């Protein structure tokens, strides 16, 4: 019985470590620099993490799965742009997220926007590739949509 408990503990622990491997950036300028260096598009996740039911559902059904994690590491630089109601944010992050919401015309959550970007002379220029939101069908269905967007226009 003890061996089963220990084995179960290690299996659960390995999934927890795997889930922590993804790096969700909150500073867009930092993410842009990494995106340009690695030649991968940005995946900008506009979310209301503590109040938006569809955002939470997208997180649980897709973004926290091993399939998504493997895909994300190979294909995109992750950026989380959160608009929480109960969680505190720094004024800089609030202002950055508000500007990006306006710049991309985000009206509903969740919205996932794929884009290439570059910084020149302190200004950021985005080249939108496409966007999506919640897609029913789990990671396979969602990743098919995402692949269709990013594979159509490589950097």
DSSP the chain: -HHHHHHHHHHHHHHHHHHT----B--HHHHHHHHHHHT--EEEEEE-TTT-HHHHHHIIIIITSHHHHHHHHHH-EEEEEE--SSS---HHHHHHHHHHHHHHT--SSSEEEEEEEEEETTEEEEEEEEEE---SSHHHHHHHHHHHHHHTS--
Instruction: For 32-66, write each residue's pLDDT tens digit.
Output: 999 999 999 999 999 999 999 999 999 999 999 99
Q: Where does the pLDDT of residue 154 fall: very low under 50, low under 70, confident under 90, or very high at 90 and above?
A: low
The pLDDT value given to residue 20 = 55
**Average pLDDT of the residues in 61-90:** 97
**Average pLDDT of the residues in 81-93:** 97
Dist. CA 86–CA 102, nearest whole Å: 21
Q: pTM higher than 0.75, yes or no?
A: yes
Q: Where does the pLDDT of residue 14 fall: very low under 50, low under 70, confident under 90, or very high at 90 and above?
A: very low
User: Terminus-to-terminus CA distance in the chain, angstroms?
Assistant: 53
């Amino acid at each position: 019985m003890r061996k089963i408990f220990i084995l179960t503990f290690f299996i659960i622990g390995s999934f927890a470590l795997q889930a922590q491997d993804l790096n969700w950036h909150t500073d867009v300028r930092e993410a842009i620099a990494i995106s340009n260096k690695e030649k991968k598009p940005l995946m900008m996740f506009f979310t209301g993490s503590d109040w938006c039911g569809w955002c939470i559902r997208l997180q649980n059904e897709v973004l926290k799965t091993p399939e998504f994690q493997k895909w994300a590491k190979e294909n995109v630089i992750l950026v989380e742009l959160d608009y929480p109601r109960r969680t505190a944010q720094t004024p800089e992050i609030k202002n950055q997220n508000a500007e990006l919401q306006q710049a991309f015309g985000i009206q509903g959550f969740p919205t996932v926007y794929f884009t290439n970007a570059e910084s020149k002379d302190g200004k950021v220029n985005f080249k939108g590739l496409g966007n999506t939101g919640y897609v029913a069908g789990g990671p396979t269905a969602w990743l098919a949509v995402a692949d269709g967007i990013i594979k159509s226009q490589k950097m």
